[in-house]
Structure 1
Amino acid sequence: MIVKVCGMRDPDNIRQTEAAGADWIGFICYHKSPRYVSHTPAYLPQKAKRVGVFVNAPFDEIIRRAKELQLDYVQLHGNESPALCKLLHNEGLGVIKVFAVHSLSDFKQTEAYESCCDYYLFDTPCPQYGGSGKQFDWSLLSHYQGSIPFLLSGGLRPDSLAALSHFRHSQWAGIDLNSGFEIQPAMKDTTLLQNFISQFKQNIP
């Protein structure tokens, strides 16, 4: 199971989060976010994969930030088209497309992205782009029958382990952690993270 920790910016906090067991670390490249990364942090992950988070950014901007941050994946939160995903894939980037889930019909839109994404990320709907800090109805995911593996996001926090231990899906590939583990925006409580990640990896098959 992949554990992605998103919304990182502080060099020491990035280093400690990587040491806490994060497999992927996310950098938000959306200027309206309080976790926006305006310049390259003094420390970038050496073992964890690097994920850049974008919202309706043009191709050239995504490529520029991908080179600057030496990204492994781009995570797309807006209305990005399958064509853009394919272009990014052709540049050698892994592509994660985000879908907000509030009804069964939301899974229909994933079909157009099957040939150009490596992962989907299913999140809680909210008016603004980015996370809501709330959990959506995971039972809806039983209706997802696509071939693309997904990360589970939305309101995950230290007390989510019990619910995660009961969740099952053949395409479930990991989790995305952010605000539920923050001291303040872009600053994670790495002790909480380490304890959670350790228990998650021990208890989730």
Structure 2
Amino acid sequence: MSRTRIKICGLRDRETIRSMHGLNVDAIGFVFAQSKRQVSPELASDLIEEVRAWPTASSEGTAPLAVGVFVNADLAELTSVVQTAELDVVQLHGSETPELCAAVKRALDVQVWKVFPIGRSAEEDAAGADARLQPFQSVVDAVLIDTAGGGTGEVFDWNVIRDYEEAAAKLGVPLYVAGGLHLDNVQPLVQLYRPGGVDVSSGVETEGVKDIEKISTFVRRVLEA
């Protein structure tokens, strides 16, 4: 991988996505779980049309991936949303089992990204990275670590990142880092750890609304790092 990939999450309107056209963004996230950023499958389908219209290529030579964010949804719900919104990726934030991940990949022909919550200090992350990730061998396409609770805008103890990078490498998948990332801390993160990807939502918002200036600056700082 030539650089850390960039995912911007929690998009809710076409104008913002259109204003992002041409940026080196690799994935755009749409939240289907209960949240202030939640969108309906029908709205997501409309927004994803704008993603597919990306006028310049990302690092992979294609439009950004359309990622759906879910918490403990069953296969029937996931199937319904994927069919309506035509997602590329299902990102699972809850207590989903390896068996469910395998069923999703088998039934829906999408990538599956599994999120693992991290305590706000290394001591809170009692289970080792290998023990948590190993059961998901061959059933996920990426691993994402985020501050416990998700969407809090708070940073976890980055000392655990190396262990999760190594554990993800054993699975042969990239590690994405989320949790309280913003314009002032994403460069140190990328310079220190060079994760497979970074995932940001509230860190590129102003008063709860996506801010294109912040998004552009965030992308530039990742690329510079």
The residue aligned with 1:53 is 69
Structure 2 unmatched runs, 5+? 53-62, 120-124
The residue aligned with 1:123 is 146
What is the correspondence of 1:64-83 to structure 2 with a 5 Å cutoff? Answer: 64-83=80-99
TM-score normalised by structure 2 residue count: 0.81
What is the correspondence of 1:110-189 to structure 2 with a 5 Å cutoff? Answer: 110-126=133-149, 130-144=150-164, 145-146=166-167, 147=170, 148-168=173-193, 172-185=195-208, 187-189=209-211
Task: Check whether the contact 2:187–2:221 (CA below 8 A) recurs between aligned residues.
Answer: no
1:152 Cα shift?
0.5
1:131 Cα shift?
1.5
CA distance in 2 between counterparts of 1:98 and 1:161 reads: 19
The yes-or-no answer on 1:43 pairing with 2:47 is yes
CA distance in 1 between counterparts of 2:18 and 2:205 reads: 15
Which stretch shows the higher mean deviation, 173-182 or 188-197? 188-197
Task: Check whether the contact 1:12–1:43 (CA below 8 A) recurs between aligned residues.
Answer: no
Question: What is the CA deviation profile of residues 29-57 of structure 1, one whole-angstrom value per residue up to 9, with x for unaligned ones?
Answer: 11x20001023243321111100000111
Q: Say which SS state the counterpart of residue 69 (structure 2) adopts.
A: strand
TM-score normalised by structure 1 residue count: 0.89
Task: Check whether the contact 1:82–1:116 (CA below 8 A) recurs between aligned residues.
Answer: yes
1:104 Cα shift?
5.1
The yes-or-no answer on 1:12 pairing with 2:28 is no
Which stretch shows the higher mean deviation, 110-119 or 158-167? 158-167
CA distance in 1 between counterparts of 2:67 and 2:151 reads: 16
Higher helix share: 2
The residue aligned with 2:114 is 97
Which stretch shows the higher mean deviation, 83-92 or 15-24? 15-24
Question: What is the CA deviation profile of residues 45-80 of structure 1, one whole-angstrom value per residue up to 9, with x for unaligned ones?
Answer: 111110000011110111111121111100000111
CA distance in 2 between counterparts of 1:179 and 1:106 reads: 28
Question: What is the CA deviation profile of residues 61-113 of structure 1, one whole-angstrom value per residue up to 9, with x for unaligned ones?
Answer: 11111121111100000111101100111121100000012325252221111
Task: Check whether the contact 2:142–2:176 (CA below 8 A) recurs between aligned residues.
Answer: yes
1:198 Cα shift?
1.7
**Percent of counterpart pairs with the same letter?**
33
Which stretch shows the higher mean deviation, 81-90 or 191-200? 191-200
How many residue pairs get aligned? The number is 196
CA distance in 2 between counterparts of 1:109 and 1:161 reads: 25
Paired AA for residue 201 in structure 1: L
The residue aligned with 1:2 is 5
CA distance in 1 between counterparts of 2:82 and 2:73 reads: 12
1:9 Cα shift?
1.0
Paired AA for residue 154 in structure 1: G
Q: Say which SS state the counterpart of residue 145 (structure 2) adopts.
A: strand
Q: How large is the Cα RMSD of the aligned pairs? A: 1.7
Which stretch shows the higher mean deviation, 39-48 or 189-198? 39-48
Instruction: Give the one of 177, 193, 205 matched to 2:215.
Output: 193
